[in-house]
Chains A and B, each alone.
Chain A
Amino acid sequence: MDQLVVSKNDLAAMTIAEAAVQIRSRELSPVDLAAATFKRIAALDGQLHSHILVLEEAGMAAAKEAEAEIAAGRWRGPLHGMPIGLKDIYGTAGIPTTAHSALLRDHVPTRDAACVTRLRDAGAIFTGKLSTWEFAIGGTSFDLPWPPARNPWNLEYDPSGSSSGSAAAVAAGLCLGAMGSDTGGSIRGPAAWCGIAGLKPTYGLVSKAGVLPLSFSLDHAGPMCWTAEDCALMMQVLAGHDPNDPTSADVALPDFSDMEAPIAGVRVGVVRHFFERDMPCEPDVAAAFEESLRVLRGLGAVVADVVIAPFDDYAAAAGQISRAESYAIHEADLRATPELYGAIFRQRVAAGAFVRGVDYVNAQRARARLVAELAVTMRGVDVLMFPTARKVAPKMAADKSLGGAFYNRAFNLTGSPALSVCNGFSAAGLPIALQIVGRPFEDPLVLRVGAAYERATPWRARRPGV
């Protein structure tokens, strides 16, 4: 297949931060930006399959409204007039929300998810409902009502998931930001393989009310953008307590406004055993990571190795919790209409029927220990760092493997903020990524380290097909 091309002069190649400055000063019209975005979706999404539903009519109407408001001096903030996509598990009032599943083909919520309301109130323009692995877990599947999203760096390659459409759309310039969700790495994995930034915020910092759940105690809602700075702009809108989400944290809101502050003195703990011993990564991933550490040292960061629990300890606990909780959600439908799910979803979720109550409790006990141990380690460092994935994207295939390609799910278990940023490319031109993990509610620091790294390296200037 042909490569997609994002021209550097294209509106689609702007970041949210850049576009916001121009929209506020009225150099850039939200209507022109939205029109260019929908034109691009029409031209490219037939190959990319990042959208289940394009919201052009409503999006253009919202863009005209944004333009009129800004002209009248009522600029709402950096997301005003910004084209944003929604993973199709985010409830949208009056608009189908399918979870990419035949089971919900005709599901139309009556309410917006809390995140959707926050983004709408901030003036965002919703471009469409984006492809996902089925119910945010199914895997790359070809037996669902819509095809799986493809990787814009090479359409024959997998974008990862579950927020596959979100990552593919942002990387291809079909929206400037998108909402993803992350239960075992579903924001960070596709962000890594599609070469963008993706933040899994601290558990409880962003409301999940109105988002179709997968695993109550591991689910996180979060932003996916071209840069860490853009993720911070989205987090400024998304973060906050929500009484309608029982897991929402009622804490003082972190300030995401200063992404330019230097990172000299920030203590970086490298979890070397994750990628050298627990689940060894490929050589080009290791080389990119070591070069990234050199860059960070150059920025004044203090880098040292740390040891935490083996990755498999985290994966075992997270796996049982996720399976039990997701089966609790889907048991009735799996019993009544198993044929309405895809094969990979059935394989992954129906196994939750065989997790005993005592296994779930002991997995939660293991979780408590792992959280406490990590808290001790993180008294000595400000952030942890390691590659996001042990390898670059593989070719598209119906993914039935349950083996791990990512170092992600440990931090769903601990609830820590975790950011994936692009830190290079393989010889084949596929993105490589590193991950930055912080203490709970220190999401701004995690983003600040990512933003500093992105400014110091050339990777954000490279777009798919350029």
Chain B
Amino acid sequence: MQAKTSLEDFQALVRRAGLTLSPAQIVELHSGWAYIEPMLERIRAHGRGREADLALTFRPDMF
């Protein structure tokens, strides 16, 4: 499985996050990103109105 984000773009993300990883560690992280990207897209693609679905607070006792 290949990530849509290129390794070069991903390296920029790693730098911006302040992580000092070795090139091998970045490649390892990038390979895992391929599984995470579709989940992020699923969250981002979901249409929500401005007033819909308050995010917080989670209250299991409010069922």
Residues of A within 8 A of B (CB): 202-204, 217, 249, 251, 312-313, 315-317, 319-320, 323, 334-335, 338, 343, 346-348, 350-351, 353-355, 359, 361-369, 371, 375, 378, 400-403, 414-416, 439-441
Which residues of the partner chain B approach A441 to less than 8 Å between Cβ atoms? Answer: 60-61
Contacts of A402 in B (CB 8 A): 32, 35-36
Total contacts A to B, CB within 8 angstroms?
111
Partner of A251, one of B13, B53, B61: B61
A353 to B17, CA, bound (A): 6
- A residues less than 8 Å from B18 (CB atoms): 335
The verdict on A351 contacting B19 (CB below 8 Å), with A249-B61, A365-B53 known, is: no
- Shortest CB–CB separation between residue B34 and chain A, in angstroms? 8
User: Given that A346-B25, A351-B32, A402-B32 are known contacts, is A362 also in contact with B61, CB under 8 Å in the complex?
Assistant: no
Contact yes or no, A440 B60, CB < 8 A: yes
B13 and A353 form a contact (CB under 8 A): yes
- Contact: A365 with B13, CB < 8 Å? no
Contact A320 B60 (CB under 8 A): no
Given A353-B19, A354-B17, A368-B58 contact (CB < 8 Å) = yes
Is the Cβ of A338 less than 8 Å from the Cβ of B20? yes
The answer to whether B53 touches A347, judged by C-beta atoms less than 8 angstroms apart, is no
B2 within 8 A of A: no
Contacts of A355 in B (CB 8 A): 40
CB neighbours of A251 from chain B (8 A): 61
Minimal beta-carbon separation of A404 from chain B (angstroms): 10
Could you tell me the distance between the alpha carbons of A363 and B19 in the complex, rounded to whole angstroms? 24
The count of residues in chain B whose C-beta lies closer than 8 Å to any C-beta of chain A is: 32
Would you list which residues of chain B between 9 and 62 have a CB under 8 Å from chain A?
13-14, 17-21, 25, 28-29, 31-33, 35-36, 38-40, 42-44, 46, 48, 52-56, 58, 60-61
A334 to B17, CA, bound (A): 11
Give the CA-CA distance A415 to B62 in the complex, in Å: 11
Q: Which residue of A lies closest to B34 (CB)?
A: A402
Which residues of B come within 8 Å of A, CB atoms? 13-14, 17-21, 25, 28-29, 31-33, 35-36, 38-40, 42-44, 46, 48, 52-56, 58, 60-61, 63
CB-CB under 8 A from A323, the residues of chain B are 36
Kindly list chain A residues whose C-beta atoms are within 8 Å of the C-beta of B35.
401-403
- In the assembled complex, which residues on chain B have CB atoms less than 8 Å from the CB atom of A204? 60-61
In the complex, are the beta carbons of A365 and B60 less than 8 A apart?
A: no
A323 CA to B36 CA in the complex, in Å?
10
* A81 vs B44: C-alpha distance when bound (angstroms): 52
Q: Considering only CB atoms, which chain A residue lies closest to B54 in the complex?
A: A368
B58 touches A343 (CB 8 A): no
Residue among B13, B42, B58 with max Cβ neighbours from chain A (10 Å): B58
A338 in contact with B58 (CB, 8 Å):
no
Report A-chain residues with C-beta under 8 Å of the C-beta of B52: 365
Contacts of B48 in A (CB 8 A): 362, 365
B36 touches A351 (CB 8 A): yes
From the candidates B29, B32, B44, name the one contacting A359 in the complex (CB within 8 A).
B44
A415 to B57, CA, bound (A): 13
Contact partner of A338 (CB less than 8 A), chosen from B21, B38, B44, B63, is B21
Given A335-B20, A346-B25, A375 and B63 contact (CB-CB distance below 8 Å): yes
Question: Is there an interface contact between B29 and A350, defined as CB atoms closer than 8 Å?
Answer: yes
Asked if residues A249 and B28 are in contact (CB atoms below 8 Å), the reply is no
Residues of B within 8 A of A378 (CB): 63
A366 B32 Cβ-Cβ under 8 A: no
Q: Which A residues touch B40, using CB under 8 A?
A: 316, 320, 355, 359
**23 cross-chain CB contacts under 8 A:** A320-B43, A338-B21, A343-B28, A346-B29, A347-B29, A350-B21, A351-B33, A353-B14, A353-B19, A354-B17, A359-B40, A359-B43, A362-B44, A362-B46, A362-B48, A363-B43, A365-B48, A366-B46, A366-B53, A368-B58, A401-B35, A440-B60, A441-B61
